[in-house]
Amino acid sequence: MGLRIKILSGFLLLSLMLLIAGLWSINELKSIGSSVQRILDENYKSIYAAKLMKEALEREDSAVLLLMLGKWEEGRQILKSADSMFVHNFSFAKKNVTIPGEQEQLNTIENKYRSYKKLWERPIVDTNREGNLQWYFQQLHDSFMDVKEAVNDLIDLNDKMMYQTASELKNRSNRAIMPGIIAILAALIFTFIFNYLVNYYMVSPIIRMTERVKKFIEKRTPFDIEVETNDEIAHLAEAIYNLCESVRSREEEQ
């Protein structure tokens, strides 16, 4: 194998290691990006919808209190708006079921909200419920808290999944760094090995040949160096040997 091929092979091998490490890192980073997008598309949107459901519930609770104070028109208007807001976000969450246990939790919310809604759908103004705090705290407020707790459980469920996914992303980011670290270490090790081989098979023979040539010129010491490889260095050594022998033969003839 010639010197050109040896040197070229060394650099090609180093480039190949860096290329593999780079492609590995790019693949891991793309995967991390996809996971982040999945968090936004799935868990975060469900959490946001659940928070809007909570807001709608609190507005409904405030509207019920207005009805209990006899403010029928204002209370019913807020109830209608809040109910529409709750139903809209609940429908969105129902279409965005992506994690285990989420569908069951949505079914619980649906059942509890249906029960809660039945309580405030009945007339309150001009009935015995108007101003009746005992009825509010014993029935409606408890039902309101049940729905709110179920919505909070939905948020917690998605929060846990987001935390779990974030932990996985942290581990995957570490894995994305590893190819670079491995490539650097491998490149350093390969550089030392390549440097050793270059010195052993190229630089050292040239130095020894240079010393032998000097000795031949000064003292006519025979040029008897041996090169282990069969490449340009060996051909150079053979050419110098032939030259030295030719010079010696001419001197002896004279």
For residue 153, what is the domain's CATH number? Answer: 1.20.120
pLDDT category, 244, cuts 50, 70, 90? confident
**Host domain of residue 230:** 200-253
Residue type, 222: P
- pLDDT given at position 33: 62
* Within-domain flag for 235: yes
Cα–Cα distance, 101 to 240 (Å, whole number): 83
Task: Report DSSP state, residue 151.
Answer: H
- Asked if residue 43 lies in contact with residue 165, where contact means CB atoms within 8 angstroms, the answer is yes
pLDDT at position 47 is 86
How many angstroms separate the Cα of 148 from the Cα of each of 50, 57, 115, 159?
10, 7, 13, 16
Confidence (pLDDT) at 19: 75
- 163 alpha-carbon distance from chain centroid: 14
Domain termination site, one of 145, 162, 186: 186
Same domain membership, residue 176 and residue 211: no
Which residue would you say has higher pLDDT here, 55 or 134?
55
Q: What is this structure's pTM?
A: 0.56
Q: Is residue 213 part of a domain?
A: yes
Distance CA 84, CA 89 (A): 9
In Å, the largest CA–CA distance within the chain is: 141
CA 72 to the chain's CA centroid = 54
Answer yes or no: do 127 and 220 share one domain.
no
Q: Are residues 53 and 102 in the same domain?
A: yes
- Kindly state whether residues 105 and 230 are assigned to the same domain: no
What pLDDT does residue 42 have?
A: 67
Q: Are residues 170 and 239 in the same domain?
A: no
Residue from 219, 221, 224 nearest 238 by CA = 224
**Do 178 and 216 lie in a common domain?**
no
Give residue-wise pLDDT tens across range 23-73: 777 776 676 666 666 666 667 788 889 999 999 999 999 988 887 787 888
Please, which pLDDT band fits residue 131 given cuts at 50, 70 and 90?
low
Q: Which of 214, 203, 202 is nearest to 240 (CA)?
A: 214
**Residue 85: is its pLDDT beyond 80?**
yes
Q: Do 19 and 136 reside in the same domain of the chain?
A: yes
Confidence bin at 134 (pLDDT 50/70/90):
confident
Do 206 and 182 lie in a common domain? Answer: no
Instruction: Give the side-chain half-sphere CA count within 13 A for 212.
Output: 20
Residues 97, 219, single domain; the answer is: no
User: What span, in angstroms and rounded, lies between the C-alpha atoms of 205 and 7?
Assistant: 16
Residue 144 has pLDDT above 60, yes or no: yes
Indicate the residue among 186, 214, 234 that finishes a domain. Answer: 186
The reply to whether 26 and 97 lie within a common domain is yes
Over 80: is that where the pLDDT of 175 sits? no
Rounded to whole angstroms, the Cα distance separating 160 from 162 reads 5
Mean pLDDT of the chain: 79
Nearest CA among 165, 222, 230, 188 for reference residue 34? 165
The answer as to whether 7 is a domain residue is: yes
- The verdict on residue 129 lying in a domain is yes
Number of domains in the chain: 2
Q: What is the pLDDT of residues 188-236, one digit of tens each?
A: 787 788 778 778 777 888 888 888 888 878 878 887 777 777 777 778 8
**Do residue 235 and residue 120 come from a single domain?**
no
- Please compute the mean of the pLDDT values over residues 110-135 and round it to a whole number: 75
